[in-house]
Each structure stands twice: as structure tokens, then as C-alpha cells.
Amino acid sequence: MLELNFSPFPILQTERLILRQVQLEDIDEVFHMRSNPSIMRYIPRPRPKSKTDAIKTIRMINRSVAKNESINWAITIKGNPELIGIIGFVRISKEGHRGEVGYMLDEAHHQKGIMHEALVAVLKYGFNEMGFHTIEGVIDPGNTASEKLLLKNGFIKEAYFRENLLFEDKWMDSVHYTLFSK
Ligand SMILES: CC(C)(COP(=O)(O)OP(=O)(O)OC[C@H]1O[C@@H](n2cnc3c(N)ncnc32)[C@H](O)[C@@H]1OP(=O)(O)O)[C@@H](O)C(=O)NCCC(=O)NCCS
């Protein structure tokens, strides 16, 4: 069984980015991103209706970090502490040494290789520091950007589940990708 410890919070650095803990000060950016229909188009999660909802999301993220159950990082560009995206292991199976990676990035920063750079760092942390055996990516079949990102990072498609998720009264399909530790 995997033993996880996110204290002190692991700050990750890449060439252009710093990945740090999400804080209550990030409320405006979190609200902006999670209430944007085009960012959330393929993410079956409730949209925040108010900043209070965004605060709840940030608190939930950090409660889970404190309990060593899951971890999310705020993506920032070096020299600017503003949150431009979120990436993390949103679901972890300690028994299966497996984590599901999830991510979203503000539209102003799309297609500049930012999420690829963040993902490389997070995958390395997941395998080397957390001890995962496999990392999973679960996407909506229409999410070409996310699919390309996973394939670019060596994930392989393992399954297509039909109507395995009920979101806002609609049954959704999902495609499951896996990356194996080397
Ligand atoms: C998915 C997402 C995080 C990608 O972030 P990004 O920083 O724009 O991606 P990158 O620039 O690192 O690109 C990675 C690869 O995907 C490709 N790609 C990215 N966006 C694409 C798009 N809209 N259409 C086609 N390909 C795309 C890039 O070309 C690149 O491949 P390449 O190097 O072979 O050219 C971003 O589109 C996003 O936040 N989407 C909304 C939230 C979401 O759907 N999250 C995933 C839920 S599973």
C-alpha cells in the first residue's frame, strides 16, 4: 500500500513554470477558469455559480492535500505568482499504486506547450516521489487537445467506456489512457 506525504507541500519547477499549492488568494483565477464554458466543456464537474463555490473548491483541494489523499498544483509562470492553470492527481488508489491526472489551463495560455511542461514534471513526481506504478488519464472522447497531450507523453489508450458517467442528467462516454512506470 502506497504511503503518501504532501507535507511540506512539494513545489515543482520547470524551465518556465513554478507549480505551487493552490491558495485562497487564487479565488478570482479559479472562479474565472472553472466558470468558463469552453474550459469546462469536457470536464464533467459542477461549475461554480459564485466565488463562494470557488472558495469551497480551493478548500476541498487543500483538505485533500492535508489528508494526503490527492494533490493539485497551481500552475504559474516564473516571475508572476498568478494562477494560470491547475494540474494534479485528482484520484489516487493507494492499493493500486495508481493516480488519475487532471488538468486545466486558462485559454490565454493554450497551445504554447505549457501543460506539456507541467505534465512532464507532475508525471516525474508521481512515479519517482509518490511511487505510482501507473498513471491514468480519463477524457471525454471529444477532447482532442487532452488526447494529444496524453499521447505526446506516452500514454496508451486502454478502454472506451460507453455511458459510464451521469452528468447533468446526461450519460457520458469516457476514454481511459494509461502511462506505465519504466
Ligand atoms: C488540454 C489542455 C490542458 C492542453 O493544454 P496546452 O498547454 O494548450 O497543451 P500543449 O500546448 O502543451 O499541447 C500539447 C499537445 O496537444 C496539442 N494541442 C493542444 N491543444 C490542442 C487543440 N486545441 N487542438 C489540437 N491539438 C492541441 C498540441 O499541439 C501539442 O501537441 P504537439 O506538440 O504534437 O503539437 C488545454 O486545452 C485545456 O486546459 N483544456 C480545457 C480543460 C480540459 O479539457 N482539461 C482536460 C480534462 S481531461
Strand-pair partners of 53: none
Q: Whose CA is nearest to atom 25 of ligand 1?
A: 145
Amino acid letter for position 24: L
pLDDT tens per residue across span 61-111: 999 999 999 999 999 999 999 999 999 999 999 999 999 999 999 999 999
Pocket test for ligand 1, best of 19, 105, 122, 144 (most atoms within 8 A of CB): 105
pLDDT tens per residue across span 31-69: 999 999 999 999 999 899 999 999 999 999 999 999 999
The hierarchical CATH code for the domain 12-180 is 3.40.630.30
- Please tell me the distance from the alpha carbon of residue 92 to that of residue 70, in angstroms, as a whole number: 6
How high is the pLDDT of residue 115?
A: 98
**Binding site membership of 6 for ligand 1 (Cβ less than 6 Å):** no
Phi-psi label, residue 165: left if phi above 0, alpha if psi -120 to 50, beta otherwise: beta
DSSP 26: G
- Residue 27 clears pLDDT 80, i.e. is over it: yes
**Binding site membership of 115 for ligand 1 (Cβ less than 6 Å):** yes
**Binding site membership of 43 for ligand 1 (Cβ less than 6 Å):** yes
36: which residues sit within 8 A by CB, 6+ positions away? 107
Ligand 1 mean position, distance from CA 144 (Å): 8
Domain boundary assignment for the chain: 12-180
How high is the pLDDT of residue 26?
A: 98
- Please tell me the distance from the alpha carbon of residue 85 to that of residue 65, in angstroms, as a whole number: 17
Q: Following DSSP, what letter does each residue of 73-120 receive, concatenated?
A: EEEEETTEEEEEEEEEEEEEETTTTEEEEEEEE-GGGTTSSHHHHHHH
Kindly report whether the global pTM for this prediction surpasses the value 0.75.
yes
- Residue 182 clears pLDDT 90, i.e. is over it: no
Confidence of residue 154 (pLDDT cuts 50, 70, 90): very high
Residue that the C-alpha cell 520547470 belongs to: 14
Ligand 1 mean position, distance from CA 159 (Å): 21
pLDDT tens per residue across span 124-143: 999 999 999 999 999 999 99
